């Protein structure tokens, strides 16, 4: 065996804390990773990216049928599970400048008007951009309305940005807020603008963030050109999923609350590109943005806080908000030894247009992963644990399909789900990465060392790329909001990992240019990134599916808690919060030490563990992740029941670790901090109890100190 290959196997073994029974895992990884090819990935891409497929449309249903047929052809046990949810449709949109010093009167005495583009221009280089199924730019769940008003510029529209406007004496009441994409989920821009009294919101793509400031634009390069518009939902609630059925699945017979009473925006919202935004910015006459604010973008005019008395802009939006039907497509390969332990691999299938990048750069990897394990099963190498492949519907409108499925199957998933893998928009460059639950970190790294790097040197692995040849520690991020992992991670306590690769020189995000032509020109026609992501997913799933004991690191729970507690301690150097954190640090250290001893004991026991003992250890390891679940949930957000991780309540995307404690410290309320600390003490009680149960099945009795 070559020295580099031998070294890779040593590293792989190091990233499997629970004994993995090497032969079965290695045989499975080798078998499944013989299947994926760039040509097959390209064919899946062409099949699913052949037309626009917005959730609930005819194109969506044709996509659903293609996915169903693909799973059936692979031999998977396939179901199409429908759900009915609010899926708005755009009816009309208009943005125009109706008042400014440079607008001459039109013939006939009519006032001068400058209409601004609300749709991308068609490109001869990208014929798909002229498809009749594409729409003008729109933000789903905008309120209908027709507003003519002055303008206030709010940078990224974050909470801090609106606080800064108030501090500067800028009044948003009755104004149209102009905010650029980035910094937070677009729905929070609208919420904060509405709270500030705004009459409407325009959200624009700034060239500094994803356009000319980054490099050549489409079609010469991959970055957003001046008419590129980011579509997207602006729905913000206390939980993801259908706002009319909180905590309940959106199926026939479920009692619904009135949609208009579900926290939807009450003001019109419209996205635009930087060609349109430039026409507004160049006519603004108010005070320049503060030089220290970081509010200046890439439009070649002075960025100003207000438009001035003369500038008037009109925003008109019409949408319907009807209930419509979409579906999840579920394919299953039953486990041979542990059919009641489920490994779920998912990615959504709906898009704002063709969706070549979002979501199909992940959906193609999902399909190829399913095909890989189906082929292995036909050849006699069936998985030991059940594999569930899920193509989720209506993610773009509010993470609907996966959330409704999780709510409908809550009891079964809490009993059976051992891991969830998310592949949303996964294959976007040659730089591999992952974010996820602490217990799955080592299994992911074990997968990365087994997979060739995309467009890499001879023998270079994804792990080598991740660590820059061993010169830095491998990154593994925290999971927040924004995709289909949320219900599993934050509501059910199922450990999750999002696997992907990025770094391509461009962005067509949620635009009419998210086409296969753009993807192949920007990410690559060789499909090497998708091949690497598929192989990493295959290897990761094989490690989980075939290991005689689940490779879920017991020590990681304590270690990650220590990492977060140290960061919180830096925010609270003294006072009641500091004492509470110090007490929790002691508990976290104890759990980390006991977990490390359990991990080591399982490895040492190896093949001497009986099948019954392995099953009981598996159950204990699953309990470690469930230990973070508290039925009371977070303060003000009871659906978020995980005390380990949640999405940030003011940005939507970012992860907040140990959220109950972090938010209590942020509130400055000593009693709230005390109550949160008590609930975390009970989490550590549950972690320690699960470690003891796992240790009791290791030969020689309980692990000392557990």
Q: Which residue has the higher pLDDT, 16 or 440?
A: 440
Closest CA to 662 of 645, 686, 641: 645
Domain topology for 54-87+323-546: Aminopeptidase (3.40.630)
Residue 103 is predicted with a pLDDT of: 72
d(CA 643, CA 623): 14
Contact 491, 241 (CB under 8 A): no
Residue 12 is predicted with a pLDDT of: 44
Per residue in 386-408, pLDDT (tens digit) is 999 999 999 999 999 999 999 99
pLDDT over threshold 60, residue 17: no
CA distances (Å), origin 306, targets 150, 160, 300, 499: 8, 18, 17, 42
Per residue in 548-569, pLDDT (tens digit) is 999 999 999 999 999 999 999 9
d(CA 579, CA 512): 53
pLDDT over threshold 60, residue 2: no
The proportion of the chain whose per-residue pLDDT surpasses 70, expressed as a percent, equals 95
Per residue in 186-223, pLDDT (tens digit) is 999 999 999 999 999 999 999 999 999 999 999 999 99
Give the pLDDT band of residue 107 (cuts 50, 70, 90). Answer: low
Contact 518, 222 (CB under 8 A): yes
Residue 100 is predicted with a pLDDT of: 81
CA distances (Å), origin 239, targets 50, 242, 404: 33, 9, 11
Q: Give me the residues paired with residue 145 across strands.
A: 317
Q: What is the pTM of this model?
A: 0.95
676-681, Cβ contacts within 8 angstroms, sequence gap of 24 or more: 676/580, 677/580, 677/581, 677/583, 677/584, 679/630, 679/632, 679/643, 680/584, 680/587, 680/643, 681/583, 681/584, 681/587
Domain topology for 555-695: Transcription Elongation Factor S-II; Chain A (1.20.930)
Helix (H, G, I), strand (E, B) or coil at 186: helix
Letter string b/e over residues 589-608, b meaning 16 or more CB atoms within 10 A of that residue's CB: ebbbbbbbbbbebbeebeee
Per residue in 19-42, pLDDT (tens digit) is 444 458 999 999 999 999 999 999
Domain boundaries, the chain: 54-87+323-546, 91-320, 555-695
Residue 304 is predicted with a pLDDT of: 98
CATH code for residues 91-320: 3.50.30.30
């Amino acid at each position: 065996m070559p020295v580099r290959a031998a070294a890779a196997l040593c590293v792989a073994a190091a990233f499997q804390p629970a004994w993995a029974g090497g032969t079965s895992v290695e045989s499975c990884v080798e078998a499944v990773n013989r299947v994926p090819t760039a040509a097959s990935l390209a064919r899946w891409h062409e099949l699913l990216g052949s037309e626009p497929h917005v959730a609930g449309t005819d194109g969506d249903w044709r996509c659903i049928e293609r996915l169903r047929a693909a799973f059936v052809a692979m031999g998977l046990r396939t179901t199409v599970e429908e759900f009915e949810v609010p899926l708005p449709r755009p009816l009309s949109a208009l943005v125009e400048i109706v008042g400014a010093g440079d607008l001459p009167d039109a013939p006939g005495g009519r006032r001068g008007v400058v209409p601004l583009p609300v749709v991308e221009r068609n490109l001869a280089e990208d014929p798909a951009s002229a498809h009749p199924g594409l729409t003008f730019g729109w933000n789903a769940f905008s309120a209908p309305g027709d507003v003519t008003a002055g303008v206030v510029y709010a940078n990224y529209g974050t909470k801090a940005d609106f606080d800064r406007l108030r501090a500067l004496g800028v009044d948003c009441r009755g104004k149209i807020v102009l905010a650029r994409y980035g910094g937070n989920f677009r729905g929070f821009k609208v919420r904060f603008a509405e709270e500030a009294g705004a009459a409407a919101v325009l959200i624009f793509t700034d060239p500094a963030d994803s356009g000319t400031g980054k490099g050549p634009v489409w079609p010469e390069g991959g970055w957003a050109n001046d008419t590129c518009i980011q579509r997207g939902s602006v729905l913000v609630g206390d939980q993801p999923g259908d706002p009319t059925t909180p905590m309940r699945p959106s199926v026939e017979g479920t009692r619904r609350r009135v949609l208009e009473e579900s926290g939807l925006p009450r003001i019109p919202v419209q996205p635009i590109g930087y060609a349109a935004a430039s026409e507004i910015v160049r006519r603004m006459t108010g005070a320049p943005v503060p030089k220290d604010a970081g509010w200046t973008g890439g439009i070649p005019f002075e960025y100003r806080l207000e438009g001035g008395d003369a500038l008037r802009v009109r925003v008109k939006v019409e949408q319907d908000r009807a209930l419509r039907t979409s579906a999840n497509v579920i394919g299953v390969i039953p486990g041979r030894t542990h059919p009641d332990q489920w490994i779920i691999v998912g990615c959504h299938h709906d898009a704002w247009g063709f969706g070549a990048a979002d979501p199909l750069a992940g959906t193609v990897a999902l399909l190829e992963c399913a095909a890989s394990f189906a082929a292995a099963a036909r050849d006699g190498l069936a998985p030991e644990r059940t594999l569930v492949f899920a193509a989720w519907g209506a993610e773009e409108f509010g993470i609907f399909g996966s959330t409704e499925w999780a709510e409908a199957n809550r009891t079964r998933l809490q009993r059976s789900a051992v891991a969830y893998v998310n592949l949303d928009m996964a294959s976007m460059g040659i730089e591999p990465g992952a974010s996820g639950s602490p217990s799955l970190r080592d299994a992911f790294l074990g997968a990365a060392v087994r997979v060739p790097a995309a467009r890499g040197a001879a023998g270079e692995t994804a792990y080598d790329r991740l660590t820059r040849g061993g010169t830095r520690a491998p990154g593994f991020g925290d999971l927040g909001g924004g995709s289909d992992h949320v219900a599993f991670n934050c509501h059910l306590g199922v450990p999750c990992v999002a696997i992907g690769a990025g770094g391509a020189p461009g962005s067509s995000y949620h635009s009419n240019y998210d086409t296969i032509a753009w993807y192949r020109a920007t990410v690559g026609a060789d499909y090497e990134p998708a091949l690497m992501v598929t192989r990493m997913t295959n290897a990761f799933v094989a490690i989980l599916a075939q290991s005689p004991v689940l490779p879920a690191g017991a020590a990681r729970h304590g270690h990650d808690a220590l990492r977060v507690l140290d960061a919180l301690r830096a925010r609270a150097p003294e006072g009641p919060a500091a004492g509470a954190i110090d007490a929790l640090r002691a508990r976290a250290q104890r759990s980390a030490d006991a977990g490390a001893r359990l991990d080591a004991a399982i490895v040492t026991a190896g093949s001497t563990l009986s099948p019954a003992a392995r099953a009981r250890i598996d159950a204990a390891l699953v309990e470690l992740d469930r230990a973070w679940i508290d039925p009371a949930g977070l303060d003000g957000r009871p659906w978020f029941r995980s005390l380990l991780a949640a999405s940030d309540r003011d940005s939507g995307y970012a992860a907040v670790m140990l959220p109950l404690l972090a938010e209590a410290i942020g509130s400055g309320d000593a009693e709230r901090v005390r109550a949160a600390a008590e609930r975390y003490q009970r989490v550590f009680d549950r972690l320690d109890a699960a470690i003891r149960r796992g240790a009791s099945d290791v030969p020689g009795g309980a692990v000392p100190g557990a």
